């Protein structure tokens, strides 16, 4: 019945609470995917459930032809947390990237003397819509859909020399502070600082895709704070809605170029999604979840490094905050399938990496359980010789 866009196991999940998820026969699983970094507060967080019930009885959708309190409150909270002045709400990460690319093109035309080229990084992932795909540095996603949108050029991550050679004619550079799907590869601080300098010098926009590494996942609400570099545009989604679809684009005054009619969305920023987004931010910021992420991340990383020392099939532990990964010495596909048999959900990434993505409100006791369970699975997997 469904278009064949995902290869999925036969498991049918019907409910969840916190880090636990249950299938249709009542079997319990440990969820270390978190909806691919979406469920920032785990499954069915009581405050999110309360907000959903309350808002569903109040107002779901009226379109962006009108103001709503929920949209304004969420926008205000994001602006207060950021170094930016305006927000555009949409429904997903790919939509956020699409909006950012349009902002870049208009900026180049209006304020950049007609410049239109957009630079992006090798092994990046920005989404599967045509614009986002055109700045995704992975041929396996692009090859069946060419010709893509023109006026883009790929660069080597962390190679300022490559950027320097290609920046002529650019209106923007888009980069993930840490490549999520690409294998949890971090951009170097000095590289990002140079990008900031170049964008200032050559009058172009610096766009950070924080769709996976943002909303507290890195240990700071915005990942850019971890790197000490402020972009002109920030793309957000995933954890912002805690499970409800929402995306956002933040711009500073430099990048504030949209005028009525330039862009839009029917569903984006509806009061339902924004009410949930505000609840997520309240839990993360006002109620202290964010304050514990760095400590929990350090604990998780030490546990994963213990596994690296014990099991030869692990080559490296990498990541940031509670977006950690185990790099295997060969394709970890069979390991992920074996983990599912042992009732643990895991997701892969590029470069033979398995991502470990718990909810941000995971307890220290639950982190101990994660370590014990992963160790059991690695022992049973026997280095892939099953």
Domains of the chain with CATH codes: 13-44+290-384 (3.90.1150.10), 48-286 (3.40.640.10)
Rg (CA), the chain: 21
pLDDT reported for residue 93: 98
Q: Which pLDDT belongs to residue 116?
A: 97
The verdict on whether residue 217 carries a ligand-binding annotation is no
Q: At residue 360, what are phi and psi to the nearest 5 degrees?
A: -70, -20
Is 310 annotated in a binding site? The answer is no
- 27 a known binding residue? no
pLDDT band at 211 (very low <50, low <70, confident <90, very high): very high
Per-residue pLDDT reduced to its tens digit, 238-250: 999 999 999 999 9
What is the average pLDDT across 47-53?
Answer: 98
279 annotated to bind ligand: no
Asked if residue 211 belongs to a known ligand binding site, the reply is yes
pLDDT of residue 336: 97
pLDDT of residue 113: 86
Mean pLDDT over the full length of the chain:
97
What integer pLDDT is reported at residue 386 of this predicted model?
A: 42
Q: Give per-residue pLDDT as tens, 95-151.
A: 999 999 999 999 999 998 899 999 999 999 999 999 999 999 999 999 999 999 999
pTM across the whole model? 0.97
Q: What is the dihedral sign for C-alpha 88, 90, 93, 95?
A: negative
Report the number of secondary-structure helices (H) and strands (E) in the chain. Answer: 13, 17
Residue 333 makes CB contacts below 8 A (sequence gap 6+) with 348
Which residue carries 């785990």 as its tokens? Answer: 42
The answer to whether the annotation marks 212 as part of a ligand binding site is yes
Give CA torsion, residues 105, 110, 112, 113, to 10 deg.
Answer: 110
94 is in an annotated binding site: yes
Establish whether 209 is an annotated binding residue.
Answer: yes
71: annotated binding-site residue? no
- Give the pLDDT confidence of 278-302 residue by residue, as tens digits: 999 999 999 999 999 999 999 999 9
pLDDT for residue 377 is more than 50: yes
CA distance 255 to 249: 11
- Stretch 187-202: mean pLDDT: 98
Q: What percent of the chain shows pLDDT beyond 70?
A: 99
| Mean pLDDT, residues 22-34 taken together | 98
In 214-328, where do the E strands start and end? 233-236, 247-251, 314-320, 323-328
């Amino acid at each position: 019945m469904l278009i064949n866009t995902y290869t999925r196991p036969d498991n049918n999940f019907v409910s969840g609470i916190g880090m636990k998820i249950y299938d249709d026969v009542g079997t319990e699983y440990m969820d270390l995917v978190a909806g691919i970094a979406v469920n920032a507060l785990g499954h069915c967080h009581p405050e999110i459930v309360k907000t959903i019930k309350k808002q569903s009885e109040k107002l779901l959708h009226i379109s962006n032809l009108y103001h709503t309190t929920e949209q304004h409150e969420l926008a205000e909270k994001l602006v207060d947390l950021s170094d930016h002045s305006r927000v555009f709400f949409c429904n997903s990460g790919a939509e956020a990237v699409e909006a950012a690319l349009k902002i870049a093109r208009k900026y180049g035309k209006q304020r950049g003397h007609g410049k239109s080229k957009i630079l992006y990084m090798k092994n990046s992932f920005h989404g599967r819509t045509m614009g986002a795909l055109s700045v995704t540095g992975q041929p396996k996603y692009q090859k069946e859909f060419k010709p893509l949108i023109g006026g883009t050029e790929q660069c080597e991550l962390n190679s300022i020399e490559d950027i320097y050679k290609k920046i002529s004619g650019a209106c923007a550079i888009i980069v993930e502070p840490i490549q999520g799907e690409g294998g949890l590869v971090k951009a170097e601080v000095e590289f990002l600082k140079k990008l900031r300098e170049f964008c200032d010098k050559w009058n172009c926009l610096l766009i950070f895709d924080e769709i996976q590494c943002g909303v507290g996942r890195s240990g700071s609400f915005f990942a850019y704070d971890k790197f000490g570099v402020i972009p002109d545009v920030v793309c957000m989604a995933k954890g912002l809605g805690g499970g409800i679809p929402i995306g956002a684009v933040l711009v500073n005054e430099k990048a504030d170029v949209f005028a009525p009619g330039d862009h839009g969305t029917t569903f984006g920023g509806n009061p339902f999604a924004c009410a949930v987004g505000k609840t997520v931010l309240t839990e993360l910021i006002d109620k202290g979840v964010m304050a514990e992420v760095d400590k929990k991340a350090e604990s998780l990383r030490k546990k994963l490094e213990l596994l690296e020392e014990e099991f030869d099939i692990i080559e490296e532990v990498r990541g940031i905050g509670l977006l950690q990964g185990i790099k295997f010495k060969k394709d970890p596909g069979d390991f992920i399938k074996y983990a599912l048999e042992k009732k643990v959900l895991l997701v892969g990434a590029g470069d033979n990496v398995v991502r470990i993505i718990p909810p941000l409100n995971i307890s220290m006791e639950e982190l101990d359980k994660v370590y014990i369970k992963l160790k059991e699975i690695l022992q049973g997997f026997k280095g892939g010789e099953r």
